[in-house]
Chain A
Amino acid sequence: MTLRQRLLLSLAGLVVLVVAAVSLIVWQRTRTIYERADEQRSAALIAQVRSEFHREGERIAETLERVVASERVQHIAAEAGGGGDISQFLQEAENLAAEFNLDYVDIYTSDGTVISSAEVPAKAGMKVDVPRNKQGSAALQRVELVDGSQLGMVASRASIDGAITISGGRRLDEKTITTLPLPQGMSVWFVTDADATQVPDALRPLVKRAQSKQADVRDVVRMSNAYDDEVIADAIPLKDAAGSPLAVLVVGASRRPLLQLQRTISITALSVAAFGILLAIGASLWVAAKLSRPVEELAEASREIAAGNWKARVEVHSQDELGALGESFNAMSAQLTEQRDKLLQAERVAAWRELARRLAHELKNPLFPLQITVENLVRARKLPSQEFDEVFDESTSTLMAEIANLKTIIQRFSDFSKMPKPQLQPTSLNELANRIGQTLQAQLATMEPKRKLTLRPGAGVGLIPLDPDLMYRALTNLVLNAIDAMPEGGEVTLATRDAGEHVLVEVSDTGTGLTDEERERLFTPYYTTKQHGTGLGLAIVQSVISDHHGTIEVRSALKKGTTFVIRLPKSQAMETAATMSAEVRG
């Protein structure tokens, strides 16, 4: 992850975190306040309903007192107590109900025979259980009808002489509840049936729980798919005097204001967070422009220098620490470049000195015998002519040999200094190896101790672009060096191998091996481990290989032999393009 991305994530994350924390706190606090208010409203409404029930019960009880005290009822009681014909009062309950504005009126004898019933006239003559509680206010009760039942508030009173009992009351249904004044956002339902069909479908599970638990139940209920159509609902079972649940009162407080407020908070929070993120992006871009870009440029320049582009520099856009860092980098790069140039120059000078030293050393060797031979000739001039002739012939032979040696040294130096460009043509390395083997076979046969040359041409090594002459000379040089490295005898192996985009040529010996120092300096011009030779052979081999866009490396260990591995490209075009690209970047 880049610095810019980290900055962006950090800033954006910080903004989102802050906004989320604030929103959550406001959300929670708002909900707590609203829920507390809803609780209070619900409790007040429930208390109001209970109070209304109680008042209604008192009113019914008072009405019943008046019913019992009426002349008509006293007449009925007298007739019933005196064993008279009570069947004549069949319609009386209806009349009393109409007169006293009651929904239910039942008149019983003391043995439970129904004299008259307003709600179910057909009950007349039936034997029922006489209500025991003949005092107190009306209580909730299920009133059985012909085709079902209803809930009502019912009280009972006995006549003065106890001959008859009158039960009376009023129906309790939804209308009773709907007459109550409701605060805004509050709803009340009165459920009397077991299937809770009197409430919306969403509230039925709550009602059923209250019915089964026979205890108050509270829950949040979603009334529809609208996000803000939720209520906090309280389901309160209403019980009769014996404690049996007869109905359920459901009070609902709408959570719409809370939910709408929460949505507003959410939208606001999201908007602020989005704006914050945009701000963070802008800030990060600005910070990146000020901070990360210089750092990135610095890092890029460092990578280029590491790759070899010593000219890489960074642009300095500011005068602050980053600007100072850039300037320091540029200065450091310039110094490094200068130092490298100096080093190269020094190495070049050192190489030239070494070359001059080696050349002087090589040239001095044959010059000394030349000088001695000429001095001998000068001294021999005083000798008799016959002795002079002998000396003259020997001296001239020596002079000729040393002059030829000088010419060889100079020729090799000239060859090294002006190595020709290779003339590439499709060439088989295996055939070159065969030629080398054939050429050296006769020489190897006469050597003592015996040296063996083993050829291992690789399968699939086809024609590759080579200068056959240069490559022949380079490979011959390596084989001859390998032979020279086995004074005690041994085996030289010349192998070729296909290696994908390249061909490998390996020249191995079982000689004495090289030390680390020898291995490092092996390709330095005029460096040699042999008693004779110019020390240019491997330098020339390296130059030839390099001109073929190949590489050569040596693997060796003391007393374990040495292996030269040459890697040559199969296609000079690819290598040429790669080389040109490197030159352009350089």
Chain B
Amino acid sequence: MMHTWLRSAALGSVALSISLIALMPSAQARTRPRYGGGMVVEASSDRTRNEIILSAIADTLTSLDARGSAVPRLTMRWEAQNGDRRWQFWLRTGVNFHDGSLLDASMVAASLDAAKIEGCDAKPLNATIVVECEGPRPALPEELAQPQYAITKSGTIGTGPFKVNQSGDGIESFDGCWRGRPYLDSARIRVRGATRDARVPADMTEVSGDALRRAQRDRMRTLTTRNSELIAIVFTTENVDVHLRQALAATVDRTAIMNFLLQKQGEAAYGLLPQWLSGYANLFQSSANMQRARELRSQYGAYAGVKLVTDDQSLQIVAERVALDAKQAGISVQPPTDSREPMGRLIRIPLSSTNAWVALSAVLKAAEVPMNVASSDADALYRRESEVLSSARIIPLAYVPSGYVLADGVHGANLDGTGDVQLESVWMEARP
């Protein structure tokens, strides 16, 4: 009896082992990156599409680490001079453009000039780039990590792992990339709503808000970032009375907007930068104050009306909510009838950097408010942010994340700190 039992156990173990061994290559195959294949990425807007393509085909001089500090990319090192007004960057050697030409200082200077760094001029100096600015730019290396300063020739020829294909409707791998060949052979990046090839399902779809929530609820594969987009009302001029702007800011019910209208995807924004970026955002926290709003509105007198517009259909509901809340304080919020009217705009402002100074600068730039901060330390940034929030030139509403729904078979997809897709690490399972 014992013998029989032992023999059966041994046979069973062997069978099990053989089965496991047979399965091992498949499992290893699924976790092991595979070269080849193509994917379709669906972005929510042209801006996102262009950013995805740009980050795939081009490199910036620097990039940012997790703390938001600049690390070398196309440059090896840099040096600040003259009170951060003059910066010199030493370029990496042996980097080729997609057309085979070598990266040199003149091309970099030309690309930076085309990108128009505000208040700065870039000039080649031997194998370096010298950037001279009107005022101190303490975070210039972090600024240059933003996608708009990616180094390209003619805007479409870069040094990244992908290059624009010949037909111009997608990107394909660049074997000569200094960072190495990507896994994918090709990728098509389309904008949601385009009728062409809409029948082809996307492998990676940008979603936000309720759609992201539903995808998560339905246990679909999703990829989300930290809250990397600020939804805010910006007034690009002082033509709307400051009391009216402040009154409007006091009526906003961010909690309700966040919990209901944005489906809890993100967090209420009281400051211009989120807590994880600035570290002091909680200091601005407050709730809607209708009494204060009415007091401010009464200082304005007569008819209190604000024109508010949004070009983003997904934000229309938020704009309506702002109007409803403002109505309770006697402020009329209406769409403008003439584009020349003084108005506020409800927009999404990407947090384009994990560096607080750079991110704040980008936010202020969206409202055409000058940065006027010579230092990148938190005190200076806090003071500047306080000034802007007090003037209500920018009324932050919420930080929202960006996210993607991934189809089965997509692996290695990553988003950087600002939510941009990194296609170079993506690989696809072989399709049957």
Contacts and interface: CB of A to CB of B under 8 A. Distances in A.
Contacts of A125: 253, 255-257, 259-261, 321
Given A90-B210, A147-B334, A122 B320 contact: yes
B261 A122 contact: yes
A339 interface: no
A124 interface: yes
Interface in B315-335: 317-321, 323-325, 334-335
B384 interface: no
Contact of A87 (B263, B317, B319): B263
A124 B324 contact: no
B264 interface: yes
Contacts, number: 50
A121 B256 CA distance: 12
A123 B324 contact: yes
Contacts of A120: 320, 324
Given A121-B261, A126-B321, A147-B335, 9 more contacts: A88-B217, A90-B210, A122-B317, A122-B319, A122-B320, A124-B260, A125-B255, A126-B256, A126-B324
Residue of A91, A121, A123, A146 ringed by the most chain B CB atoms within 10 A: A146
B317 A121 contact: yes
A48 B320 CA distance: 39
Chain A interface residue count: which class? Answer: 10 to 19
Contacts of B259: 87, 125
Interface in B294-331: 317-321, 323-325
Given A87-B260, A87-B263, A90-B263, A122 B210 contact: no
Interface string A86-99: 01101100000000
B253 A126 contact: yes
A87 to B, nearest CB: 5
A146 B333 CA distance: 9
A120 B323 CA distance: 11
Interface of chain B, main secondary structure: helix
Interface in B237-257: 253, 255-257
A85 B324 CA distance: 23
Interface in A119-137: 120-126
Given A122-B317, A124-B256, A125-B257, A146 B324 contact: yes
Given A121-B317, A123-B324, A146-B323, A90 B261 contact: yes
Nearest to B256: A125
Interface string B196-237: 000000000000001001000100000000000000000000
B400 to A, nearest CB: 14
Interface of A: 85, 87-88, 90-91, 120-126, 146-147
A90 B257 CA distance: 11
Contacts of B325: 126
Contacts of A146: 320, 323-324
A345 B224 CA distance: 156
A122 B263 contact: no
A147 B325 CA distance: 13
10 contacts: A85-B264, A90-B261, A121-B320, A122-B261, A122-B320, A125-B255, A125-B260, A125-B321, A147-B323, A147-B335
Contacts of A88: 213, 217, 263
Nearest to B319: A122
Contacts of A126: 253, 256, 321, 324-325
Contacts of A123: 321, 324
Nearest to B334: A147
Contacts of A90: 210, 260-261, 263
A34 B115 CA distance: 84
Contacts of A147: 323, 334-335
A471 to B, nearest CB: 111
Nearest to B328: A126
B188 to A, nearest CB: 31
Nearest to B320: A122
Contacts of B334: 147
A121 B335 CA distance: 17
Contacts of A85: 264
A122 to B, nearest CB: 4
A523 B122 CA distance: 154
A122 B318 contact: yes
Nearest to B209: A90
A365 to B, nearest CB: 135
Nearest to B335: A147
A318 to B, nearest CB: 94
A90 B217 CA distance: 15
A124 B318 CA distance: 10
Contacts of A87: 259-260, 263-264
B214 to A, nearest CB: 9
B323 to A, nearest CB: 5
B126 to A, nearest CB: 59
B22 to A, nearest CB: 44
A126 B257 CA distance: 9
Q: Which 10 A-B pairs have the closest CB atoms?
A: A125-B256, A122-B320, A125-B260, A122-B321, A124-B260, A146-B320, A87-B260, A122-B317, A87-B259, A146-B323
